[in-house]
Amino acid sequence: SNQAETLEFQAEARQLLQLVVHSIYSNKDVFLRELISNASDALDKLRLATLVDKDLVADTDDLHVVLEVDRDARTLTVRDNGIGMTRDEVVQLIGTIAKSGTAELLRQLRESADAHAKQDLIGQFGVGFYAAFMVADRVTLVTRKAGETGGTRWESTGEGTYSIEAVDEAPQGTAVTLHLKPADTEDNLHDYTAEWTVREIVKRYSDFIAWPIRMTVERPGAEGEPATSEVQTLNSMKALWARPRDEVDAAEYNEFYKHVSHDWADPLEVVHMKGEGTFEYEALLFLPSHAPLDLFSPQGRRGVQLYVKRVFIMDDCEALVPTYLRFVKGVVDAHDLSLNISREILQQDRQIQIVRRRLVKKVLATVKDLKANHAERYRTFWTEFGAVVKEGLIDDTDNRDTLLDILSVASTNDPAEPTDLAGYVARMKDGQSDIWYATGESRAAIENSPHLEAFRAKGHEVLLLTDQVDEVWVERVGTYDGRPLRSIAKGEIDLDTDEEKQQAEAEREQQRQEFAGLLDWLGTTLTDSVREVRLSSRLTTSPACVVGDAHDLTPTLEKMYRAMGH
Ligand code: ADP
Ligand code: MG
């Protein structure tokens, strides 16, 4: 009955595996971080499951990770006694990639010819378990779900298929055994069966893991004595978020970030805070250095991890961060919550709302500080996440002023350098009362628009807004620093001083008489298409342009609504 079956990886998984197997990813050591991270997650899940389900029969006395090496067989095993997987779960979780953003990743991989760019993409996506195939030519996984009797054995060479079979005896949890590629090949610099190597990698990447990571180490005997062996714990197990900030170094923050975010790149910025008083909490949040592929997908992951007094409660806790900060990663450890708390209740919990408000303020203050003091990092941040942060201008009225301060947008002032609103105001001409903006699909599209001409001629700066969200927030926000935000494509535009106006009025009266016949004729001819034909002062080189009323939709919005079927 325990016959092995051979199954195929899902197509996406196969493509990803191919890339991993032939990977030139320079830092192959990270495979161990990925496997330990999974083991740690499995231990978290088991502890939570036994807290929530009192009937679950599982062994939780000594939850840990063990690393076992066999130098002769050239294997390395990562074993945990955590939640384990059922057969179906193995097929689902290991044989397929359910992660959102996969389709986008594969599209970009197909379109990219450059091997290094491909490696970067893999790093951004985080290949997780499959990283094992960077160093192993065969991987065996034996697992038993906590509370169940039979186990499952899975094995693959990473080449399109895997075998899977039931096993009668298996310890609770999961053991992943890597049959290592030859140690001396040029792309396999480290011998992962060497104690020293393994110890170093664990220290570097997984020191903060909350569970003991153990290994049996050999000690040569003193003269005449036989060698001995002892079990050592390789990591310090200190919850990073609970440690004082000045005792944590950048490398530790970076590795912790990679563990919670599944990102392979370092974070851009760390936000480490502590709340005392009636509701105690610690938060360790990160601003990533690049946008995830699923940033704009409705299935995208959002939110941070929630812990209660060091006990992992949930991933992707949306209640703790607003959607416009959905890219923020990290951990919040709230001390006074019930371990059984559900997502629904969290959304309404008053304490959680208070924490959330503080987190938002702190994150925005961090961005503000980047903007003031670290221009390069701020620019990276805004390029990657600006379009999302601007969503906050629509309904987070509490933080609107801060959001307006940290905003930057392209402008006609300097094609290479975006501006903030304060910069725009500082450059406003004498007598200019409005902040002018233009919206469109791209900078080029806007710059070709005849609406810009008069502004150019007068030397008035115009903000160039090209994100979809821009039209919505400028409408909603209305003013900055008491000055109206106005579209150059709407309503009667008046850029002249009083003196210029009188002079212009005289000229125009003359022109009106001169062109009365033409305007009349145009008005009658175009009667079905336009409301009115009038002489304009806003054009300098184009002969004519179409304008909306002040309360009309802008052309982009009109197009958007039409596309939506309105
Ligand atoms: P990720 O950790 O980002 O979800 P991985 O590729 O690392 O992606 O792992 C895929 C999934 O396989 C995990 O989400 C988990 O459900 C399951 N898994 C992997 N390793 C283990 C393990 N040691 N114990 C239990 N489940 C595991
Ligand atoms: Mg993982």
The pLDDT score that the predictor gives to residue 286 is: 98
Q: Residue 396: which region, alpha, beta or left (left: phi > 0; alpha: psi -120 to 50)?
A: beta
The pLDDT score that the predictor gives to residue 245 is: 93
Ligand nearest to the CA of 101: 1
Q: Whose CA is nearest to atom 17 of ligand 1?
A: 93
- Separation of 37 CA from ligand 1 center, angstroms? 8
Higher pLDDT, 560 or 169: 169
Q: Residues lining ligand 2 (ion), CB within 5 A?
A: 37-38, 128
Buried b (16+ CB within 10 A) or exposed e, 293-310: bbbeeeeebbbbbbbbee
Q: Among residues 12, 165, 169, 145, which one has the least CA distance to residue 89?
A: 145
Ligand nearest to the CA of 90: 1
Which run of H or of E encompasses 366?
helix 350-373
The pLDDT score that the predictor gives to residue 522 is: 85
- pLDDT tier, 529 (very low <50, low <70, confident <90, very high otherwise): confident
The pLDDT score that the predictor gives to residue 373 is: 97
Predicted confidence (pLDDT) at residue 326 exceeds the cutoff of 80: yes
Percent of the chain with pLDDT over 90: 57
- Separation of 408 CA from ligand 2 center, angstroms? 36
Q: Whose CA is nearest to atom 27 of ligand 1?
A: 38
- Separation of 168 CA from ligand 1 center, angstroms? 22
Maximum mean pLDDT: which of 93-97, 275-279, 329-333: 329-333
The pLDDT score that the predictor gives to residue 20 is: 84
- pLDDT tier, 422 (very low <50, low <70, confident <90, very high otherwise): very high
**Residue from 12, 33, 41 whose mutation best tests the ligand 1 pocket (most atoms within 8 A of CB):** 41
Whether residue 464 contacts residue 411, with contact meaning beta carbons closer than 8 Å, is answered with yes
Atom of ligand 1 nearest to the CA of 45: 25
- Least trusted range by pLDDT, from 159-163, 349-353, 452-456, 546-550: 546-550
- Mean pLDDT across the chain, nearest whole number? 88
The count of residues in the chain is 566
- Least trusted range by pLDDT, from 4-18, 62-76, 128-142, 500-514: 500-514
Atom of ligand 1 nearest to the CA of 83: 25
- Separation of 40 CA from ligand 1 center, angstroms? 10
The pLDDT score that the predictor gives to residue 283 is: 97
The pLDDT score that the predictor gives to residue 234 is: 96
Helix, strand, coil in percent for the chain, rounding step 5:
40, 20, 40
- pLDDT tier, 541 (very low <50, low <70, confident <90, very high otherwise): low
Predicted confidence (pLDDT) at residue 560 exceeds the cutoff of 70: no
**Residue from 129, 130, 178 whose mutation best tests the ligand 1 pocket (most atoms within 8 A of CB):** 129
Predicted confidence (pLDDT) at residue 316 exceeds the cutoff of 80: yes
Ligand nearest to the CA of 132: 1
pLDDT tens digit string along 465-477? 999 999 999 999 9
The pLDDT score that the predictor gives to residue 184 is: 61
**Residue from 93, 96, 127, 154 whose mutation best tests the ligand 1 pocket (most atoms within 8 A of CB):** 93
Ligand nearest to the CA of 83: 1
Percent of the chain with pLDDT over 70: 92
- Separation of 555 CA from ligand 1 center, angstroms? 47
The pLDDT score that the predictor gives to residue 565 is: 53
Atom of ligand 1 nearest to the CA of 39: 23
Atom of ligand 1 nearest to the CA of 176: 23
Whether residue 463 contacts residue 422, with contact meaning beta carbons closer than 8 Å, is answered with no
Atom of ligand 1 nearest to the CA of 127: 6
The pLDDT score that the predictor gives to residue 89 is: 96
pLDDT tens digit string along 463-509? 999 999 999 999 999 999 999 999 998 766 666 666 767 777 788 78
C-alpha 313/C-alpha 329 separation (Å) is 15
- Tokens of residue 437, six digits: 């903006």
Predicted confidence (pLDDT) at residue 91 exceeds the cutoff of 60: yes
- Separation of 174 CA from ligand 1 center, angstroms? 10
Ligand nearest to the CA of 99: 1
- Separation of 117 CA from ligand 1 center, angstroms? 26
Whether residue 156 contacts residue 141, with contact meaning beta carbons closer than 8 Å, is answered with no
Predicted confidence (pLDDT) at residue 566 exceeds the cutoff of 90: no
- Least trusted range by pLDDT, from 96-110, 143-157, 228-242, 444-458: 96-110
The pLDDT score that the predictor gives to residue 551 is: 62
Phi first, then psi: what are they for 183, rounded to 5°?
A: -75, -25
CB-based pocket (< 6 A), ligand 1: 34, 38-39, 42, 80, 82-85, 93-94, 128-129, 174, 262
Distances, alpha carbon 408 to alpha carbons 305, 438, 464, 479, in Å: 30, 15, 11, 16
The runs of H, that is alpha helices, within 27-126 are 30-52, 87-95, 102-111, 115-125
- Separation of 211 CA from ligand 1 center, angstroms? 17
- Separation of 426 CA from ligand 1 center, angstroms? 53
pLDDT tens digit string along 371-411? 999 999 999 999 999 999 999 999 999 999 999 999 999 99
Distances, alpha carbon 104 to alpha carbons 20, 122, 387, in Å: 17, 12, 19
- pLDDT tier, 36 (very low <50, low <70, confident <90, very high otherwise): very high
Higher pLDDT, 308 or 267: 267
- Tokens of residue 107, six digits: 């599209």
Segment 21-35 shows an average pLDDT of 84
Predicted confidence (pLDDT) at residue 1 exceeds the cutoff of 60: no
Q: What ipTM goes with this model?
A: 0.99
The pLDDT score that the predictor gives to residue 558 is: 66
Q: Whose CA is nearest to atom 21 of ligand 1?
A: 38
- Tokens of residue 86, six digits: 């059922």
Question: For residue 69, what are the contacts with CB-CB under 8 A and spacing of at least 6?
Answer: 75, 76, 77, 192, 193, 194, 195, 198, 215
Higher pLDDT, 533 or 123: 533
Q: Among residues 219, 187, 215, which one has the least CA distance to residue 201?
A: 215
Whether residue 537 contacts residue 504, with contact meaning beta carbons closer than 8 Å, is answered with yes
Whether residue 249 contacts residue 262, with contact meaning beta carbons closer than 8 Å, is answered with no
Predicted confidence (pLDDT) at residue 197 exceeds the cutoff of 80: yes
- Separation of 281 CA from ligand 2 center, angstroms? 26
